[in-house]
Structure 1
């Protein structure tokens, strides 16, 4: 049965044309969907199970066959009761179908409760409505989702008085028991569906809930009354009918293309997929609406330009190809001592349209920075997570958790030591302070400049600083002093500092002084590394030899391991040579699956693996295998930083 469900309604709001391509096996789809992986990382099923404990008398509506009509019939039977609580109540009307997370019925008074593993601050009055009166961008689709549910329910039951709510993780609430998150274990059933094994009977056993119920009735009604629109003049009921009719009749809506929607379109086919016969929805739209020929799809376009905030405006002006752009179009401005954003964008634009694959380097600026570094050089990488349901008593939802680091040292004689590493793979423990003690111990042994890649490590140390301030740790003052010594405060901190040994951001060195066309504009370390390897003869020669022959030690790889592999003169990304943390999934694919959860472009495998260690039951052998894979990933992250440094050194020498 073909129905417009709430997930397809949300897809249609992102771009109505997507409904034509979804569920078609002959079209490529880059958006991988795996509820088990999403549940692991996001904690959604755990939050939903805790939310249900707030309404313990609820009845679950389910069907093994996923029969829509059966679900609706079961729901209507339960609704004959004057008072009832239903989990996953199902409603269908003229091609529309929704299921509600929790429905509370008292006569004709209805509570529609949407459970999300998202967080909010109970004291924040601008969670959903911004200061200018519009919907906050990060909540817009979720609010329209609830409006769609209410619309269908109200159509089926016009006499109901429906109030709408979110149930969310309240970041101002703290757990009142130890191991709250261990009370909800994720299971993967035989039919590949994800379930929860609850190890607590009642809400009273966990004390204060970290979830909060927030009324959004007025906002939802304003959406239904078209006070808030999703796109221009696209009125709510018109949108529902247009999307439903298009999906049910398999009709292409020919909705105008846009920079943001087309840039992130999942229905793009790679060259390999097209060679196998898969079609591209992206190409379909641009052939139909912009009359692109095959040659146009080969022209460099604006969708991959780094940090391009003018993209939407230029797209509206019809400037889609890089060959059309001028310095004025990108608001070109030079910066003193480093590349400005627009300078870097212009380098990318010109190299792309001139098919120039040579690297660009500001040697003078890079040399000046490198002259300030002191040996030995320390390269560190953190792996972290945040969880909706806290590990420990007194912890709040989505507090930062640092569970792993890797640490390489580059000595002045060019020898490289994998000096230390740390991982906590035990379920239910809060590792941050132990993590920090280990890091302090190893970094204080030797002087020298410390490096990170991007802002993540600094952000995490600031978060641990706040956690220490609110703790009773006996060594809190020494640990706080260490944090302030190797980091700098963020704007949110009440106390401002910049440490004497503040970490150097190697990613900023890339952004400010270096551009490699093989990164295609990305500054992710997993894109920069293969680009650097491709461009560096020194790195190719060095890392195509076994570890034992290149003055390099390793804690996780055998001495005969070779980091660099060439296939037809093409460098294979070293990350692709690592063991898969999850069978059939690369780290990049995991990042795509979890893109709406966190910024995990460079940490999908680690975050998901850590969640699996925490929330699923496994044998010691499985735990050991997963731990070994995590250690290898993290070791490569810090070695990758050294390879980038060596490439810079090679250029300047």
Structure 2
């Protein structure tokens, strides 16, 4: 059976032949949640790129045979105009260029990307596009890649002039041209295989993109592989090269890092490690104890005036306040509407945390960074924000140095610590169960495409998730003290 090729299929094969084979033959195994989100962003960035090029012709036709014909007409039209999604084919390989700009008698091809810089795989993309266009007889005078300009500050009003920066890549693309036929042949060879290629999981599972077939290829491992040693680096590579598959089989003498020794000892014994000094440290914390957690959105295309691409914009907080008598009160904030969420976010947070008591967080770097940004943005609140930062107590390093359970498998994420302490609070009963899922849920809330019931369901899911994060910290402290 013969399969047509596209740029995406060729690049999939470049990343991993198994990925291409599964894409064509086993789409039932595909988990494209992350891919869909990235593609949605890419489409939006592409639409903005088109709006910034005047008098362009869009080849917006799903039937590729018609798209090929319309492109032929657009290339021959007089006067010549920019073409978006120009579609050409050569030797069974079909590609679509984001932007073609007339330059005299030739065309400049520009690929539009949602990344903050040009990446090697994007240059390979452009090389494939260029090769097919040139082979199809379209005269090109150069190739460029337009990417997100992170210095751009959105002025509002759907004005995205300056969001994209183009970098010329003609020399780099030309250097790769001789390799493109080899990449095409390799992809065809993969698609000619009757069975799934045998390729072990590795770096290609996430580089340059997360593979949508990881759940199929990466099976849960039995035992305790040596790579659970935190920041094991060269040591893990050496142990694996020597044939050590299970951490419990590694001689203690091979471990010099105290944290590695603690992980190894708990793993071998099957019993958790708890340093008694942690109990005293936690008991010494005064009341009220305030536990907080933030959620943020960092869109490639800024949504609120005064924000930059990929800037972390906080839109939600959760706060549990525990008194000396053991009583616990919960407060929360989740942005509504399409206004900038930051003013209300910080004012409601400052009201919730009050003026006294330690403010407990898990890995304070993130929360501190967001608060410092807000202090700079709202100088009238800067003193109060700085006082809040001064009250913060980071639970993550405390737990990392004084507690470890074998089931944590080398991680001190709150989601890995919590099941070893309070399994009734595990996240598997939540519709939103992680930071990326929270971002997607909030994007849906902001969308005009969902109805009121769906929006309310997403809101409830977000509130439940963020509340779980701070309640988890309460339970962890109660257990360890």
* Secondary structure, counterpart of 1:50 in structure 2: helix
Contact 1:305/1:521, CA 8 A, preserved across alignment:
yes
Q: What does 1:171-190 correspond to in 2, within 5 Å?
A: 171-178=150-157, 180=158
Contact 1:425/1:627, CA 8 A, preserved across alignment:
no
Q: Is residue 609 of structure 1 aligned with residue 441 of structure 2? A: yes
Contact 1:27/1:267, CA 8 A, preserved across alignment:
no
Contact 2:52/2:161, CA 8 A, preserved across alignment:
no
Residue of structure 1 in register with 2:285 after alignment: 373
User: For structure 1, which segment, 406-415 or 212-221, has the greater mean C-alpha deviation from structure 2 after superposition?
Assistant: 212-221
* Higher share of residues assigned helix: 2
Contact 2:201/2:218, CA 8 A, preserved across alignment:
no
What is the CA distance between 1:249 and its match in structure 2? 4.6
Q: What does 1:139-538 correspond to in 2, within 5 Å?
A: 139-157=119-137, 160-178=139-157, 180=158, 206=159, 208-224=161-177, 237-249=181-193, 257=200, 259-261=202-204, 267=213, 280-281=216-217, 298=222, 300-302=224-226, 304-310=228-234, 313-314=237-238, 317=241, 319=243, 321-322=245-246, 325=250, 332-334=256-258, 339=259, 342-343=260-261, 346-347=264-265, 351=267, 354=268, 356-364=269-277, 366-367=278-279, 369-418=281-330, 420-427=331-338, 429-445=339-355, 447-454=356-363, 455-468=365-378, 476-477=379-380, 479-487=381-389, 499=390, 501=391, 503-534=392-423
What is the CA distance between 1:25 and its match in structure 2? 3.0
What is the CA distance between 1:406 and its match in structure 2? 0.9
What is the CA distance between 1:450 and its match in structure 2? 0.8
* Secondary structure, counterpart of 2:314 in structure 1: strand
What is the CA distance between 1:87 and its match in structure 2? 1.8
Q: What does 1:26-65 correspond to in 2, within 5 Å?
A: 28-32=29-33, 35=36, 37-38=37-38, 43-64=41-62
What is the CA distance between 1:321 and its match in structure 2? 1.1
What is the CA distance between 1:629 and its match in structure 2? 2.7
Q: Is residue 71 of structure 1 aligned with residue 67 of structure 2? A: yes
* Secondary structure, counterpart of 2:55 in structure 1: coil
| Greater length-normalized contact order (CA 8 Å, ≥ 6 residues apart) | 1
Task: Pick closer, same or farther for the CA change 1:346–1:44 going to 2, 3 Å.
Answer: same
Residue of structure 1 in register with 2:428 after alignment: 576
Contact 1:28/1:281, CA 8 A, preserved across alignment:
no
Task: Pick closer, same or farther for the CA change 1:391–1:18 going to 2, 3 Å.
Answer: closer
Task: Pick closer, same or farther for the CA change 1:484–1:315 going to 2, 3 Å.
Answer: same
Task: Pick closer, same or farther for the CA change 1:245–1:62 going to 2, 3 Å.
Answer: farther
Provide the C-alpha distance between the structure 1 equivalents of 2:480 and 2:56, rounded to a whole number of angstroms: 62
Contact 1:171/1:397, CA 8 A, preserved across alignment:
yes
Task: Pick closer, same or farther for the CA change 1:32–1:615 going to 2, 3 Å.
Answer: closer
Residue of structure 2 in register with 1:17 after alignment: 18
Contact 1:19/1:246, CA 8 A, preserved across alignment:
yes
Task: Pick closer, same or farther for the CA change 1:396–1:518 going to 2, 3 Å.
Answer: same
Task: Pick closer, same or farther for the CA change 1:300–1:6 going to 2, 3 Å.
Answer: farther
Task: Pick closer, same or farther for the CA change 1:316–1:363 going to 2, 3 Å.
Answer: closer
Contact 2:224/2:409, CA 8 A, preserved across alignment:
no
Provide the C-alpha distance between the structure 2 equivalents of 1:388 and 1:633, rounded to a whole number of angstroms: 24
User: For structure 1, which segment, 244-253 or 516-525, has the greater mean C-alpha deviation from structure 2 after superposition?
Assistant: 244-253
Contact 2:101/2:107, CA 8 A, preserved across alignment:
yes
Q: 1:398-457: CA deviations, max 9, x gaps? A: 322111111101222222111x22221111x11213211221222234x11111122321
Contact 2:362/2:395, CA 8 A, preserved across alignment:
yes
Q: What does 1:113-132 correspond to in 2, within 5 Å?
A: 113-119=110-116, 127-128=117-118
User: For structure 1, which segment, 297-306 or 142-151, has the greater mean C-alpha deviation from structure 2 after superposition?
Assistant: 297-306
Provide the C-alpha distance between the structure 1 equivalents of 2:320 and 2:450, rounded to a whole number of angstroms: 31
Provide the C-alpha distance between the structure 2 equivalents of 1:421 and 1:525, rounded to a whole number of angstroms: 19
Residue of structure 2 in register with 1:91 after alignment: 88
What is the CA distance between 1:379 and its match in structure 2? 0.4
Task: Pick closer, same or farther for the CA change 1:112–1:612 going to 2, 3 Å.
Answer: same
Residue of structure 2 in register with 1:200 after alignment: none
Contact 1:303/1:311, CA 8 A, preserved across alignment:
no
Contact 2:263/2:406, CA 8 A, preserved across alignment:
no
* Secondary structure, counterpart of 1:90 in structure 2: strand
Provide the C-alpha distance between the structure 2 equivalents of 1:304 and 1:4, rounded to a whole number of angstroms: 39
Provide the C-alpha distance between the structure 1 equivalents of 2:243 and 2:427, rounded to a whole number of angstroms: 36
What is the CA distance between 1:101 and its match in structure 2? 1.6
Superposition RMSD in Å = 3.3
Provide the C-alpha distance between the structure 2 equivalents of 1:400 and 1:73, rounded to a whole number of angstroms: 44
Task: Pick closer, same or farther for the CA change 1:332–1:220 going to 2, 3 Å.
Answer: farther
Provide the C-alpha distance between the structure 2 equivalents of 1:315 and 1:100, rounded to a whole number of angstroms: 47
What is the CA distance between 1:511 and its match in structure 2? 2.1
Matched positions, count: 474
Contact 1:378/1:407, CA 8 A, preserved across alignment:
yes
Q: What does 1:639-650 correspond to in 2, within 5 Å?
A: 639-649=471-481
2:76 paired residue among 70, 76, 80: 80
Residue of structure 2 in register with 1:626 after alignment: 458
What is the CA distance between 1:484 and its match in structure 2? 2.4
Q: 1:110-168: CA deviations, max 9, x gaps? A: 2222222223xxxxxxx54xxxxxxxxxx2322322222222222323x6234222223
Provide the C-alpha distance between the structure 2 equivalents of 1:98 and 1:303, rounded to a whole number of angstroms: 41
What is the CA distance between 1:224 and its match in structure 2? 4.0
Q: 1:610-631: CA deviations, max 9, x gaps? A: 2122232445454434323322
Provide the C-alpha distance between the structure 2 equivalents of 1:90 and 1:160, rounded to a whole number of angstroms: 14
What is the CA distance between 1:384 and its match in structure 2? 0.8
* Secondary structure, counterpart of 1:166 in structure 2: strand
